[in-house]
Structure 1
Amino acid sequence: MDPAQAGAVALAAADLGVAVEGVFTFPGHAYAPGAATAVAAQEAAALAEAAAVVVAAGIPCPVRSGGSTPTLTAALERVGPSPAADELRPGVYVFGDAQQWELGHHAPEDVALVAVATVVSHAGGRAVLDAGSKTLGADRAAYASGFGRLLDHPGARIVQLSEHHAVVDLLGAALPPVGERVRVVPNHVCAAVNLADELVVDGERVPVAARGRNT
């Protein structure tokens, strides 16, 4: 939506009895290589304009809500007449994933969630794992170099994904032995968590409370 339309939307909501708390955006176009700083500036400007229009319409606008994991650092560092949002919502940063790794917003040592898979075959000179799209999710952004990565084999890429298996190209490195367990970093951690009934945190099984709640 054009930020200039925020006042009309706020008035329409107020007429329906909806309490208007502020303005909101999600800078999803920051999910591209090298885009974060420019997109954070665009987001800040859009929120500032939208908030000003809402106030001009006679409705207080105490909250400017925005943010994403790619833009978090730039938003926190931004100062001046169009500062970052009052409220930032960087969801992926809690765990990290292969997308953020590739975009440079998470170092591999900062990735906190992995799927543990077993090497079940060396078919075709590649490692085949017993974790597929039903565990990792099927997301692959245009900039992604594979369907996921291996935390302990940074050069490797998941090049094929079926429901129950992943095929990993080690790109010339030694294949992990059949039977070895490897740590897989999903491309999109949000989708991966939504596919799991529980997570293992420091040895404790923690139920995923929102599992199956998408509908």
Structure 2
Amino acid sequence: MTASLSARHLPPTPFLAVDAAIVERNLTGMADSAAARGLSLRPHAKTHKVVELAQRQIGLGAVGLTVATLGEAEVFAVSGVKDIFIAYPLWADEGKGARLRALTENITLTVGIDTEEGARQLAATTAGAPVGVLVEVDSGHHRSGIAPADAGVLARAAADAGLDVRGVFTFPGHGYGPGNRGSAAEDEAQALAVAVESLAAAGLAAAVVSGGSTPTAAAADASVLTEVRPGVYLFNDAQQLEMGTCGWDDIALWAVATAVSRSGQHVILDSGSKTLGADRLAWATGGGRLPDHPDARITALSEHHATVEFPAGAALPGLGELVRVVPNHVCAAVNLADELVVMVDGAVADTWRVAARGRNS
């Protein structure tokens, strides 16, 4: 741990800390990059779930927010965000339909669709409310999303059902992997271009052409896209580090843990999966990374234990020593925390409540 940090002045471990200066640099960097290419920025707030950070993103020029759930949309709408896109194919039952209608009384609301059945259900339960939709297309991640060439058929069905079709979107999630960012961005642009043509053939214009995750945002094709939706960029994480999307100096969030046990060349930290999250993609080198011990690897995570292996001969943290741990997937880690401890020049300056945590429906 840096010398300026002392356990005397910190909350009990484990907790999540953020470096305010790095967050600000990451926020302004992405805002400037999008603006320079003529792209709108609609950051994904599922990463941070923090009202103060959403307001800063809007202040830096974001056209609105992206969220994953209706509950997240409600939190940020109450905080004053006026334009929100739920990038998810909601099944709008009567209860969710009523909540969507209520949101449209105060904000511009857009929802993702990828099936005709889902579109008709959304139209039926939000009838009379100005709910916009974007058609989701699959650009290679093979999760949700319709084939790009079929986007027009779905868009026409949605429009005929009474929905305001505003455009198309995709998530190039197959960019998550070493060496995949460039090709995923190319796939994204190609898929969206086909989808735009498909809408035009159905007599509909795509005012919004939306893509761009954190790994692919820098390579987003501004000749096709109108907006990008990165989320992780403001904090970054071990996945982004190992993909090469960011460097150590760009990581703004880490868990502060305590070394509680040691044997041979392994140390147990108190930041288990209930702090760091359990996500570990197949190519990840461990369960997180230690910025002050870059050659160490987290070889196992249980609920309250992180097992860290150090190279032979490496100096190990002493028992009771504080250790910084960067989670693999920062979105999952933040959703486990009630608050983030804000650090300025190595000292606690504030806390941010994770206001949208647990709003999964």
Question: Shorter-chain TM-score: which interval?
Answer: over 0.9
Question: What's the CA shift for 1:124?
Answer: 4.3
RMSD of aligned alpha carbons: 1.2
Task: Judge conservation of contact 2:265–2:310 (CA < 8 Å) in 1.
Answer: no
> Aligned runs of 1:2-151 on 2, under 5 Å?
2-75=147-220, 78=221, 83-151=223-291
Query: Residue 201 of structure 1 aligns to which amino acid in structure 2?
Result: V
Per the TM alignment, residue 125 of structure 1 is displaced from its structure 2 partner at its CA by 2.8
Is the Cα–Cα contact under 8 Å of residues 277 and 333 in structure 2 kept in the other structure? yes
C-alpha contact 2:335 2:357 (8 A) present in aligned 1: yes
Residue 192 in 1 paired to residue 333 in 2?
Answer: yes
Relative contact order (alpha carbons < 8 A, sep ≥ 6): 1 or 2 greater? 2
* Residue 207 (1) aligns with residue 348 (2): no
Secondary structure of the structure 2 residue equivalent to 1:20: strand
Query: 2:96 maps to which residue?
Result: none
Name the structure 1 match of 2:107.
none
Give the match's secondary structure for 2:165.
coil
After TM superposition, give the deviation of residue 178 of structure 1 in Å: 1.0
* 1:183 maps to 2:183: no
- What is the rounded CA distance, in whole Å, between the counterparts of 1:16 and 1:133 in structure 2? 45
Count of residues in Structure 1 that have an aligned counterpart in Structure 2: 210
Q: Which amino acid aligns with 2:255?
A: A
Query: Per-residue deviation at 1:91?
Result: 0.7
Distance 1:24 1:73 in 2: 17
Which amino acid in the other structure matches residue 141 of structure 1? L
- Contiguous gaps of at least 5 residues in structure 1: none
- TM-superposed deviation, 1:177: 1.1
The equivalent residue for 2:122 is none
Aligned counterpart, 2:306 = 166
* CA contact 2:257–2:322 (8 Å) conserved in 1: yes
Structure 2 counterpart SS, 1:44: helix
Partners of 2:301 and 2:263 lie apart in 1 by: 14
> Contact 2:265–2:311 at 8 Å: present in 1 too?
no
Scaled by the length of structure 1, the TM-score of the pair is 0.94
Residues 84/37 of structure 1: CA separation in 2 closer, same or farther (3 Å cut): farther
CA offsets, 1:96-140, max 9 Å, x none? 000001101110110001010001111343111011000000000
Deviation of 1:16 (Å): 1.6
| C-alpha distance in structure 2 between counterparts of 1:116 and 1:160, whole Å | 17
The residue aligned with 2:296 is: 156
Instruction: Work out the percentage of aligned pairs sharing the same amino acid.
Output: 61
Point out 4+ residue stretches in structure 1 off by more than 3 angstroms: none
Moved more, 61-70 or 200-209: 200-209
What are the Cα deviations for residues 49-92 of structure 1, in whole angstroms up to 9, with x where unaligned? 101110221112111001111111222xx46xxx3521101111
Aligned partner letter, 2:214: T
Give the residue type in structure 1 aligned to 2:288.
Answer: G
Distance 1:8 1:42 in 2: 21
